Chains A and B, each alone.
Chain A
Amino acid sequence: MLEENLSLIGRVCAWIGAQPFAVEIAESAWLFPIIESIHVLALALVVGSIAMVDLRLLGVVAVRTRVTERINHLLPYTWAAFTAAVVSGGLLFSSQAATYCANIHFQLKLGFLALAGINMAVFHLAGYRDVAKWDSDIKPPGSARIAGGVSLSLWVAIVCFGRWIGFD
């Protein structure tokens, strides 16, 4: 069963890598660095905006700004940039799909991205629902501080794993 799944992933990777755009990126001298630059700019906005929210949840920065005010201001940047990061990252991936699939740091990065998504979903469905009660608190309640701390740690790890891919 496991082997069948692995060979399925291998076949999907081979198929992605054979797409014309993937071949083009792999063979061009400048497409990869250009797309990579877009990926860096996008991830900078994703991680920057998320960290600014996380540190407010932790009660470290902007403690006099309401939590909802900060989130409403910064979340559109997160989502717009995340979309750009996924598209540019997908294109980078396609150029060497099989190699990245087998790369441990790439795998860890995807796994931690999933954990960051779960952490955010849990926070939105649970701890964030009664934000009206603690919106102006300098130090938000424990559940919000944990969500912020977990998010910040995961995103720092995601950046590190992402950078490490280039050194494998």
Chain B
Amino acid sequence: MLLSFAKWLAATPLSQTLQAALWVVPAVQSVHILAIAAVMTSVWVLTFRLLGLSGRGRLVSQVSGDVAPWIWWALGVLLLTGIILIIIEPSRELTNAAFLTKMSLIPVAAAPTYVLQAAVRRDAALWDRQGAVSLAIKIGAVAVLGVWIAIAVLGRFIAYVEYA
């Protein structure tokens, strides 16, 4: 079903027009990478703050509030640029195991990231207390960082995995 949808999409005038302009793919991918930079740096900085590995002079609530807009704005840009890339080469993505795995992992990473930020925003004083971040939260944060990393790596592997 995805394959026939991909074939239909590739034949649409919009896809045909974008395919003809050879600079569009590298340009949109470049914007995609810049947005990846915003998300990865934000998640990394927040995780390391929770672990107490960096930014200890700053409160957890400060760091969380600081990076939150970067993550959600950048995810919006990633969605938009990602859709454009799919329109241009639908089967390259839609029938690609790396792409499909990556997409299924995005909610796995985004949901706990959102829940954590919402919790910190709701009760900043609690999170800013010394030793407020439990071991379970730390382990969870590292796991979520790992999923974000896997998403980025799988994104790069789209180019190396065979597709229909």
Residues in A whose Cβ lies below 8 Å from that of B29: 163
Across the interface, do B45 and A74 meet the contact criterion of CB distance under 8 Å? yes
Q: Is the interface of A mostly helix, strand, loop or mixed?
A: helix
Kindly supply a per-residue 1/0 record for chain B positions 63-89, scoring 1 wherever the CB is within 8 Å of any chain A CB and 0 otherwise: 000100110000000000000000000
Across the interface, do A37 and B27 meet the contact criterion of CB distance under 8 Å? no
C-alpha spacing A160/B25, complex, angstroms = 11
User: Does B159 have its Cβ within 8 Å of any Cβ on chain A?
Assistant: yes
C-alpha spacing A35/B41, complex, angstroms = 19
User: Does A164 have its Cβ within 8 Å of any Cβ on chain B?
Assistant: yes
Across the interface, do A47 and B34 meet the contact criterion of CB distance under 8 Å? yes
User: Does B54 have its Cβ within 8 Å of any Cβ on chain A?
Assistant: yes
User: Does B58 have its Cβ within 8 Å of any Cβ on chain A?
Assistant: yes
Greatest chain B CB density within 10 A among A30, A48, A77 is at A48
User: Does A111 have its Cβ within 8 Å of any Cβ on chain B?
Assistant: no
Across the interface, do A51 and B37 meet the contact criterion of CB distance under 8 Å? yes
User: Does A7 have its Cβ within 8 Å of any Cβ on chain B?
Assistant: no
User: Does B153 have its Cβ within 8 Å of any Cβ on chain A?
Assistant: yes
C-alpha spacing A166/B26, complex, angstroms = 9
Residues in A whose Cβ lies below 8 Å from that of B54: 73, 76-77
Q: Which residues of B contact A (CB under 8 A)?
A: 22, 25-27, 29-30, 33-34, 36-38, 40-42, 44-45, 54-55, 57-58, 62, 66, 69-70, 149, 152-153, 156-157, 159-160
Q: Which residues of A contact B (CB under 8 A)?
A: 30, 33, 36-37, 40-41, 43-49, 51-52, 61-62, 65, 69, 72-74, 76-77, 156, 159-160, 163-164, 166-167
